[in-house]
Amino acid sequence: MVDTLTYHFNGKQTDFYLDKRFEQLAELTDMSNCFIITDENVARMHGHRWAGHASIVIKAGEAHKTIDTVHHIIETLLKSGADRQSRLIGIGGGVVTDITGFVAATYMRGISFAFIPTTLLGMVDAAIGGKNGVDVGLYKNIMGTIRQPDLLLYDYSFLQTLPTAEWQNGFAEVIKHACIRNQDMFATLETHTPEDFQQDEVLLHQLVKENVQIKCGIVEQDVEEKGDRRLLNFGHTFGHAIENLYGLPHGHAVSIGMNMAGAISEEMNNFTSVSLARLRDLITLYGLPLTIAYDVEKVFAILKADKKKESESIHYILLKEIGEAEVKRMSLMELEPFIKQTQ
Ligand SMILES: NC(=O)c1ccc[n+]([C@@H]2O[C@H](COP(=O)([O-])OP(=O)(O)OC[C@H]3O[C@@H](n4cnc5c(N)ncnc54)[C@H](O)[C@@H]3O)[C@@H](O)[C@H]2O)c1
């Protein structure tokens, strides 16, 4: 079965090949002038699949999502003779695809690129929507552009080597999508376990496809994040603050942030206590935490510096019900009691 979705982001066409094998890439792109960018883990476990092909292997992990890595890739591309007609192919998790997109957007003022996401988080979130970039010090994604790949190829066999902690990170974003846009997907998640999706490729494919549709549907309407794209930050405002402060895995931080946003929604947005209980149960079912002990003052200081803050208020994403979210402007004063309470 070939399952392809096509979206247009500000007029630019991006094709999603949702059920292909990596080896079919040559049917979709001229491989002779392509440069693969991947990280050392993905190269170690899967690199035999592109043996003999031009590839640039970067160090794995968020610590290497930096301008130094971009510099290294660009130097290597220059030495290898990459030109304006070359295409980059990012094969990896969100770090690889964010960096590949950024290099492609800037090398010779922009060349084409494609993604093959190899983490669940990459498949349902990071590889979609065109945001790319690097971190500068503690500031995540502070330098970057928005530029869309020509195509994404999904090959679920890459996930066979994905560690449990990385599955959990991906499921946090899946739960986020269900909360903001799709109550049926939320119910599907409730009736399964993470292992069901890990073991059943058909079930996984359906889940990934629904997530691609949710994120693309939102981004297609609002590429520049002036409106509904903000909904994708559900759980992330608070989540980012504690993620950096305590070095938490992203999925853990987002889950704690979703629990916090759920509690605020119950208080301020008529989100029912029954729905809040369902959200908490689902987060727990997927092996994710609801809270940690944190320093209120330090978290506050980070929220104040948050790059999405406009004057003294923050765009906070609240739920009306499961599957429906809205953007609310909240002042830091309004947020304070929740941050003190939920701890
Ligand atoms: N651009 C966006 O819209 C967007 C959205 C969400 C997240 N992100 C970014 O994505 C990044 C997080 O993505 P991530 O969670 O995929 O992280 P990641 O790229 O660091 O991958 C996580 C780990 O899994 C390893 N890995 C990747 N594929 C593997 C496989 N198939 N088998 C075994 N190990 C594998 C990687 O080497 C790494 O150690 C962050 O930098 C975040 O800012 C971007």
Handedness of CA 74, 75, 81, 83 (dihedral sign): positive
Radius of gyration of the chain (CA): 20
Instruction: Give the per-residue pLDDT at 33.
Output: 95
| 92 Cβ below 6 A of ligand 1 | yes
Share of the chain above pLDDT 70, in %: 97
Please, what is the average pLDDT of the chain? 95
What is the CA(270)–ligand 1 centre distance, in A?
35
Beta bridge partners of 319: 325
- H, E, C per residue of 220-260: HHCCCCCCHHHHHHCCHHHHHHHHHHHCCCHHHHHHHHHHH
Alpha helices, DSSP H only, in the chain? 25-28, 40-46, 67-80, 94-106, 120-121, 164-181, 183-190, 194-199, 201-221, 236-246, 250-268, 273-285, 296-305, 332-342
Q: Residue 280 — φ and ψ, nearest 5°?
A: -65, -40
Is residue 68 left, alpha or beta, with left meaning phi > 0 and alpha meaning psi from -120 to 50?
Answer: alpha
What is the CA(298)–ligand 1 centre distance, in A?
27
What is the CA(274)–ligand 1 centre distance, in A?
33
The predicted-structure confidence for 284-338, as pLDDT tens digits, reads as follows 999 999 999 999 999 988 888 765 556 678 889 999 999 999 999 998 888 888 8
Q: Using alpha carbons only, give the angle 124, 128, 130 rounded to the nearest 5 degrees.
A: 160
| 240 Cβ below 6 A of ligand 1 | no
DSSP state of 287: T
37: part of which helix (H) or strand (E)? strand 34-39
The predicted-structure confidence for 172-187, as pLDDT tens digits, reads as follows 999 999 999 999 999 9
Which residue's CA is the closest to the ligand 1 atom numbered 27?
93
pTM score: 0.96
pLDDT at 343 exceeding the cut of 70: no
What is the CA(318)–ligand 1 centre distance, in A?
26
Burial annotation 250-273 (CB, 10 A radius, 16+ → b, else e): bbbbbbbbbbbbbbbbbeebebee
Q: How far apart are CA 67 and CA 45, in angstroms?
A: 26
| 172 Cβ below 6 A of ligand 1 | no
